[in-house]
């Protein structure tokens, strides 16, 4: 509480976002960050309880929760919690994550340019096309994991062929989602310093906003666009 009082941006970020506070801009309000970290928490619980079920190679992770029997019980219930938190996050961000006409290129060449640090689009809003792409991919993955997970939770309700398909799809979705999350963590920390603070304190510096999301920076600060 004292830290919030001594940090004006943190205090404002409890209930508001997209506002300037001194030399910073509030990017994510407290409720958004709580939901985000809840999703992250249950993702890692699902990951660490699911790995020993998936393969004996990862049997050591079962000891973190009291053994394989506990993991077999905890994994499906934490999966339900993960989907519920993901759905709450979807409801919060779905409008902001709609692709704009100029962002179609993020499905191909624009993403490659971004990864090579060659992207200099002055029309990037609060979220770029890559972040929107990740949002929709993770949302679909959460739905896929729920559907296939329920099939595996009650396997006797399905014929053998569908049960096998559910196992394959559940494993494949998990692998792709885990890779996406690793990539997401990298971009939010080492690749773009200053990004992590938007999900802890809720605020970013003005130079960070101007560099990574210039249109959003102009919208929030009222600064005119650069000359063509």
Query: What's residue 114's pLDDT?
Result: 65
Query: What's residue 12's pLDDT?
Result: 95
Could you please report the per-residue DSSP string of 118-186? ----TT--SS-HHHHHHHHHHHHHHHHHHHHHHHHHSGGGS-HHHHHHHHHHHHHHHHHHHHHHHHHHH
Say how far apart CA 111 and CA 119 lie, in whole Å: 9
Chunked into runs of 10 residues, the chain (228 residues) has average pLDDT values of 69 95 96 97 97 94 95 97 98 94 71 62 87 94 96 90 95 95 91 92 96 94 82
What is the token pair recorded at 212? 């990574």
- Give the residue carrying structure tokens 């773009």: 192
Give residue limits of the domains in the chain. 30-93
Query: What's residue 192's pLDDT?
Result: 87
**Which residues are CB-neighbours of 15 under 8 A, at least 6 positions away?**
29, 30
3-state secondary structure of 90: helix
């Amino acid at each position: 509480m004292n830290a919030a009082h001594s940090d004006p941006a943190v205090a404002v970020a409890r209930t508001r976002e997209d506002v300037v506070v001194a030399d910073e801009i509030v990017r994510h309000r407290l409720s958004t960050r709580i939901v985000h970290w809840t999703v992250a928490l249950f993702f890692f619980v699902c990951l660490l309880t699911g790995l020993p079920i998936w393969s004996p190679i990862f049997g050591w992770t079962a000891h973190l929760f009291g053994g394989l029997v506990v993991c077999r019980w905890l994994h499906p219930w934490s999966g339900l919690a993960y989907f519920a938190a993901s759905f709450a996050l979807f409801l919060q961000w779905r409008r902001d994550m709609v692709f704009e006409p100029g962002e179609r290129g993020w499905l191909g060449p624009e993403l490659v340019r971004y990864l090579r640090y060659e992207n200099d689009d002055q029309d990037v809003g609060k979220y770029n096309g890559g972040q929107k792409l990740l949002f929709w991919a993770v949302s679909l993955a959460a739905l896929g994991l729920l559907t296939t997970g329920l099939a595996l939770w009650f396997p006797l309700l399905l014929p053998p062929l569908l049960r096998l398909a559910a196992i394959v799809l559940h494993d494949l979705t998990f692998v792709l989602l885990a890779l996406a999350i690793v990539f997401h963590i990298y971009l939010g920390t080492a690749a773009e310093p200053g990004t992590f603070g938007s999900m802890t304190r809720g605020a970013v510096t003005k130079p960070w906003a101007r560099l990574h999301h210039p249109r959003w920076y102009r919208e929030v600060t009222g600064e005119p666009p650069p000359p063509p």
